[in-house]
Amino acid sequence: MTQTLTKSEATSARIIAAAKRLFVASNYADVTTDMIAKAADVTKGGLYHHFPSKERLYVSMMLDDLERKRLLFERSTTSRGSCRDRLVQLTRDFLELPHEERELTRLVRRDINAFSGRERDRLVRAYQRALPEQVETIISQGIRNGELAPGDARILSWSFVALVEVVIGDYADHVYGSAQARLGHVVDLFFDGAAALPTGGTQ
Amino acid sequence: MTQTLTKSEATSARIIAAAKRLFVASNYADVTTDMIAKAADVTKGGLYHHFPSKERLYVSMMLDDLERKRLLFERSTTSRGSCRDRLVQLTRDFLELPHEERELTRLVRRDINAFSGRERDRLVRAYQRALPEQVETIISQGIRNGELAPGDARILSWSFVALVEVVIGDYADHVYGSAQARLGHVVDLFFDGAAALPTGGTQ
DNA sequence: AGTAAAACCGACCGGTCAGTCGGTCGGTAA
DNA sequence: TTACCGACCGACTGACCGGTCGGTTTTACT
């Protein structure tokens, strides 16, 4: 039943897959509907039979990706290890994704200015919440069980995500070793800080 | 003597100012040369008298901004306070910039896919180094004088910049209080980490 | 004032691209 | 066999945009 994709569904999926490849490699404006159609082995007419506009195709592609990631990260969010272990696990899951899937996460921030109005808001809100909210769940529990210092879980989550995005980004590759090594550094920094000594003293 | 070229320079500056406003508000492809010309109160012909192409105009705009920021941050880079104070100072200087000037820093990451080849590399390299390198100078000194734990200055700098970018970003405004308040949190996190207790013990 | 050069104008061109539309084709139900 | 329908095709269009160019105005300097 889930097995039997109708012909229509299969074509839609093929178009979305092609769009992912192309939108990751270039930017919204430079990817033409002809290119997507050709890469998906349909014509432009066929593409427009399945999607009403380029913009809606982009949004469909993003929401599709979002749902996949939500499922992927659910394991880390609901598991029972320490806060630290679970954050490492979640980040490692992300790191192990193929390059294209990782890049998709950054697409919204990159292409967001190509959109406007309702569609834009929908996309931003959905995507900004995807990763940060799952991280926040983990961090809130870390605070509650005393593993993390009391504080605002939300800003901590955003900080953690910011650090991870630096680790993940390709532009960091030529700056500092492997992504795995950087992951270790970033997690250490997040938990223990950069100061030389446990500040001790007046506290 | 500088007077002689003043008219031309004034027009160029007006065009660059208009371009900044528009490119920050939208993305590279959606800002037309006609829009820039109109906003700068010249015609397209006039614009092309001063800049040979839209791409080169964009690059000029970016390099202009880069130089302003370099000068602005020099104070923090060369002053004598503690590492922590200087990082706070530098970040505060950045926070006090008008919105548009702050956003420009994120433009490169946003629009980078609109370019290719030599121009692209030049821009990326110049911009990636602008803030991180000045931060790295401060952090290296912090490590040398024992204020920070020994480690890789570069990844620490990138991490700090990543945290600041999250603090600065408008999208964070509706998530957590004022930018100034977030700045405090982020600096604390960077130096002391999020763990509940000074890990102490075995060290 | 006279003049050459720089600054500026705006109609125009070549090309691109999202989206359209009349039509084809293979399956399927009656 | 016929009638129908969704999937798909691909030539076409209308709007737009970066860049050009011949011509006009302004500036700077004698």
The CATH number covering residue B144 comes to: 1.10.357.10
Per residue of chain B (203 residues), what is the pLDDT tens digit? 333 457 788 899 999 999 999 999 999 999 999 999 999 999 999 999 999 999 999 999 999 999 889 888 888 888 889 999 999 999 889 888 888 888 888 888 788 888 887 888 888 888 877 788 899 999 999 999 999 999 889 889 989 988 988 777 655 555 566 777 788 888 999 999 988 865 443 33
Task: Check whether residue A155 and residue A108 sit in a common domain.
Answer: yes
Give contacts of B114 with chain A, Cβ < 8 Å: 27, 29-30
pLDDT (0 to 100) of residue B177: 65
Task: Check whether residue B33 and residue B79 sit in a common domain.
Answer: no
Is A176 in Cβ contact with B152 (below 8 Å)?
yes
pLDDT (0 to 100) of residue A202: 38
Q: What is the pLDDT of residues A62-115, one digit of tens each?
A: 999 998 898 988 888 888 899 999 999 998 898 888 888 888 888 887 888 888
- The enclosing domain of A47 has a CATH number of 1.10.10.60
CA of A31: nearest nucleotide by C1' is: C17
Task: Check whether residue B28 and residue B63 sit in a common domain.
Answer: no
Structure token pair of residue B137: 């100078």
Amino acid at B195: A
CB-based contacts of A67: which residues, under 8 Å, 6+ apart?
Answer: none
Q: Residue A162 is nearest to which of B151, B163, B191, comparing CB atoms? A: B163
Task: Check whether residue A12 and residue A112 sit in a common domain.
Answer: no
pLDDT (0 to 100) of residue B171: 56
CB neighbour burial string for A29-64, b if at least 16 within 10 angstroms, e if fewer: eebeeebbbebbebeeeebeebbeebbebbbbbbeb
Compute the distance between CA of residue B129 and CA of residue B184 in angstroms, rounded to an integer.
24
Task: Check whether residue B72 and residue B32 sit in a common domain.
Answer: no
Task: Check whether residue B97 and residue B159 sit in a common domain.
Answer: yes
pLDDT (0 to 100) of residue A167: 74
Q: Residue B191 is nearest to which of A190, A191, A195, comparing CB atoms? A: A195
Task: Check whether residue B103 and residue B83 sit in a common domain.
Answer: yes
Structure token pair of residue B193: 């980490």
Is A194 in Cβ contact with B198 (below 8 Å)?
no
Residue ranges in chain A whose pLDDT is less than 50: 1-3, 199-203
Type and span of the H or E element at A99: helix A99-111
pLDDT (0 to 100) of residue B172: 58
**Quick check: is A147 in a domain?**
yes
Is B162 in Cβ contact with A113 (below 8 Å)?
no
Give contacts of B147 with chain A, Cβ < 8 Å: 195-196
CA of B64 to C1' of D28 (A): 28
Task: Check whether residue A139 and residue A185 sit in a common domain.
Answer: yes
Domain hosting A46: range is 7-51
Covered bases, chain D (protein CB within 7 Å): 6-12, 16-22, 27-29
**Quick check: is A136 in a domain?**
yes
pLDDT (0 to 100) of residue A31: 96
Of B92, B68, B82, B79, which Cα lies nearest the Cα of B183? B92
pLDDT (0 to 100) of residue B6: 73
Of A146, A141, A156, which Cα lies nearest the Cα of A80? A141
Number of domains in chain B: 2
Task: Check whether residue A74 and residue A129 sit in a common domain.
Answer: yes
